[in-house]
Amino acid sequence: MFIKIRLSDIEGAKRALPNYYNILEGRKNAIYLKSKGMSLDCDLSKSEHELWDIHEKAMLSLRKSEATKNPKTSLLDLKLKLARHMLSKCELCERKCGANRLMGKEGHCHVVESKVSSEFVHWGEEPELVPSHTIFFSGCTFNCAFCQNWDISQNPKSGDAFSPTRVAEIIKRRSDSTRNTNWVGGDPTSNLPFILDTLTYCNVNTPQVWNSNMYLTEKSMKLLDGLIDVYLTDFKYGNSECAKRLSNVDNYWDIVCRNHKIARSQCGVIIRHLVLPGHFKCCTKPILEWIAKNLENVRVNVMDQFRPAYNAYEYEELTERLTREEFKHSYEFALGLGLSLTD
């Protein structure tokens, strides 16, 4: 019988996530505090185009800059302004619906107002992350047939409309007993402006984790640069056809590969891959090979938790649970590639 080894490879985790551990061990500040403390001589009423130019230049010096206490205008203020601009013709994710969400219009995800479905101390995340303060938003940019959280992800109007100040208070309260703030959903992307707004009210030195399907636009990825300490990604498909069939998204492979490279250039990355029954050749194998070839020093979690849920029964291969043999094959394939595995 195959039993997945519980990995407590702390050295591997520290190699892949050095800044995260520096923050946890008090040697560094979470990067969002730098953006919050970086003073900009900038008039936020300038055009969106001009503001992106200012952002571009500011990002070049962020990591070398000294933090100022309560600057009049900070890099985080600029990021929030740009995120709100993006909401007026929504292009937060690669669906690029163009809906004016500031005027209450809905795009594909149907998120208008950010709703928090739940927030709690999560002990089920990877060992390097727990205990993790997870904040679950309702709604998602994907429509995965087998979504295990479909009651949250496909119901964007469910949950509570907390204010950013209220969420910041909760983060402060949870920060004593958790190692990070873990932004998740559904998917957090539709809520990016709300999250940035919340960070303007936060002061705790807590690493920020972006737990996402990684279908963000490049502009959204730019806004996250300087705010996020760890990307916790969900790499689902090894090609765009499976993604279209099972999650109703276009051009998945190119977008998600691009964003993993961007994420790795910004900070630490933990990649989750849920092995789907019958998808070794088309998905698991190409994903793991791509990671081994393109991303240095990332953590990979090959997951065996698939259960037929939501609309999975409409897809023949997803009507059964994953067999032990299928998982063993996937896991050993990842080991053979020399990937740094976590669970």
Amino acid at 173: R
Options 105-113, 125-133, 247-255, 320-328: segment touching ligand SF4 (CB under 6 A): 105-113
How many other CB atoms sit within 10 Å of the CB of residue 128?
A: 26
CA-CA distance, 135 to 137, in Å (whole number)? 7
CB proximity list for 79: less than 8 A, separation 6 or greater: 35, 55, 196, 223, 226, 227
Query: What residues numbered 276-335 form the site for ligand SF4, per CB under 6 A?
Result: none
Among 13, 38, 51, 109, binds ligand SF4 (CB under 6 A): 109
Site for ligand SF4 in 117-146 (CB under 6 A): 141
Say whether 180 sits in a helix, a strand or coil.
coil
Question: Residue 91 or 304: which CB sits closer to ligand SF4?
Answer: 91
* Phi, psi for 11 (deg, rounded to 5): -65, -40
- Residue 76 sits in the site that holds ligand SF4 (CB under 6 A): no
Number of other residues whose CB lies within 10 A of the CB of residue 8? 11
157 binds ligand SF4 (CB under 6 A): no
d(CA 44, CA 153): 34
- Position 95 contacts ligand SF4 (CB under 6 A): yes
**CA distances (Å), 200 to each of 77, 126, 313, in order?**
7, 28, 44
Question: Which one of 84-92, 147-155, 160-168, 312-320 is the stretch in contact with ligand SF4 (CB under 6 A)?
Answer: 84-92
The answer to whether residue 243 forms part of the interface with ligand SF4 (CB under 6 A) is no
Beta-carbon count within 10 A of 199 CB: 25
The answer to whether the peptide bond before residue 131 is cis (omega within 30 degrees of 0) is: yes
Task: Check if the beta carbon of residue 166 is closer than 8 Å to that of residue 57.
Answer: no
In degrees rounded to 5, what are phi and psi of residue 321? Answer: -75, 160
Nearer to ligand SF4, 98 or 127 (CB): 98
| In the complex, minimum distance from the CB of residue 107 to ligand SF4, in angstroms, rounded to a whole number | 2
Member of 30, 58, 75, 93 binding ligand SF4 (CB under 6 A): 93
Site for ligand SF4 contains 92 (CB under 6 A): yes
- Tell whether residue 114 is a contact of ligand SF4 (CB under 6 A): no
Instruction: Pick the closer one to ligand SF4 by CB: 90 or 283.
Output: 90
Query: In whole angstroms, how close is the CB of 150 to ligand SF4 at the nearest point?
Result: 16
Residues at the site binding ligand SF4, with contacts judged by CB under 6 A: 90-93, 95-97, 99, 107-109, 111, 141, 189-190
